[in-house]
A and B are shown apart, each in its own frame.
Chain A
Amino acid sequence: MMSETAKQHTRELRALSRKLLVEGDVDVMIGYRDGIWEDTTRPHFATSPEATQQLVWNRHCANNLTVYLARPEIRQLGRPAVVVKGCDALTLDVLVREQQIARDDVVVVGVVCDGVVDSSHGSEGTRLLPKCDSCTVTTPPRVDHLVGDPGPARTPLPPDRSALERIEALTTEARWQYWQSELERCLKCYACRAVCPLCYCDRCFVEQSRPAWTSSSQTAKANFVFHLFRAFHLAGRCVSCGECARVCPVEIPLDVLNQKMAEEVADLFGFVAGEDPDAKAPLVTFTRDDPQEFIR
């Protein structure tokens, strides 16, 4: 059942998109449409005013659509507008900082969001995604158009650290065993990579052959190396949109790995990805007196 707010947001979104396309501000509107199954959505690329009528907004708009902005096949469609939730909007800052998109080349349409339903609990589920309970960006920042009324900010719960704490409490050997058994399930489907707006490399290290850092086969070693470097390459960049963990078919807690890295980056370098678009990324800068307690 679609709530009144969702219906209202859908109407506003369609009208705004139509206007943007008719007036020639943009060539393609990247938004959500109803999915194949009930209570799901899928990405929609509206290139004509008529196509905007299929756009929807509801509590199942999980995808982070900014993933499409840097893709060559989407760029071919012309100047894009993109629908973002607050969490998705943070990714834009990173993409701009890393020069994957120019902020002026994209029209950002933010929608005030009160949470996305966690569909892993079946279509009747009303539980929100884990990230939504601790959301601090219900109103997306730095957008060109805002759909919905910001209203009073909801009080976010503190981030859920239970999984992290459980793993941190283990001994080194037990942590090794834990991750070996988690990563053993990896199918190398690369859904985590495909869905991540910040995994935009033309050629991922997994597919590099000169030198071949790892193999693309589904073995304990190759799975370990893939997930080790997936997490490391996202460290200080990941804005914790949680898409990787949501799409993982074998439920590897990728979000916990990312959360760990985000906490370490905050601890070591005082940096939070997506917080300040003008702050320098932690691994492209340094201070002369960075601590070096680990160096002999």
Chain B
Amino acid sequence: MAELNPPPWEPRIVAFVCKWCTYAGADLAGTVRLRYPANVRIVKLPCSGRIDCFFIVKALEQGADAVLVSGCHPGDCHYSDGNYHARRRFRLFRRLLEFLGVDLRRVQFACVSAAEGMKWADLVSDLADEVRQLGPYREYHQMCAGDGTGDERDREATHA
């Protein structure tokens, strides 16, 4: 009888992406059949300006080992300036996370256009490698463990 070994740990990365650029870019990567790791879970939003900093924290809480936020390049925003606002907000938010001791290697930002399927595939591959090196985000997940809000159960359910 074959021995049942649990599969090796794989990082879980949540990507919040804008529907006009990065989502289309990821779609393109699929259409042209580029291979990239399946570690990324994509959440599509209308604009990087819509990506609230709460989303990042919530993703880490629910078991993400890293978060990627990606939108349009400067000048490309479908709503003209959503990504400019987002850029300011995230620049500042990173500094606060850093001050509180959050590992910034686990909260990443990118610009990927609808034509950059290759960039998306490379980005996700690189990030997956980086996070694989870092290992699970134990500090953050331990902080969230056992607070009785049900997140713990959610996490176990998704791990199973």
Contacts and interface: CB of A to CB of B under 8 A. Distances in A.
Nearest to B146: A219
Contacts of A225: 57, 61
A4 B111 CA distance: 63
Contact of A288 (B75, B89, B109, B139): B75
Interface of A: 167-168, 170, 172-180, 205, 213, 215, 217, 219-222, 224-225, 228-229, 231-232, 235-236, 257, 260-261, 264-265, 268-269, 282-284, 286-288, 290-292, 294-296
B43 interface: no
B58 A177 contact: no
14 contacts: A167-B99, A172-B98, A172-B101, A175-B100, A213-B54, A213-B58, A217-B148, A232-B96, A286-B85, A287-B84, A288-B74, A290-B87, A292-B87, A296-B110
B101 A294 contact: no
A294 B153 CA distance: 34
Mostly helix, strand, loop or mixed at chain B's interface? helix
Interface residues of B, number: 39
Given A168-B99, A288-B75, A268 B91 contact: yes
Contacts of A228: 57, 96-97, 100
B144 interface: yes
Contacts of A180: 101, 143
A283 B96 CA distance: 15
B109 A295 contact: yes
Contacts of A167: 99
Contacts of A290: 84, 87-88, 91
Which 4 residue pairs are nearest across A and B when measured between Cβ atoms? A176-B101, A175-B101, A219-B147, A286-B84
A178 B101 contact: yes
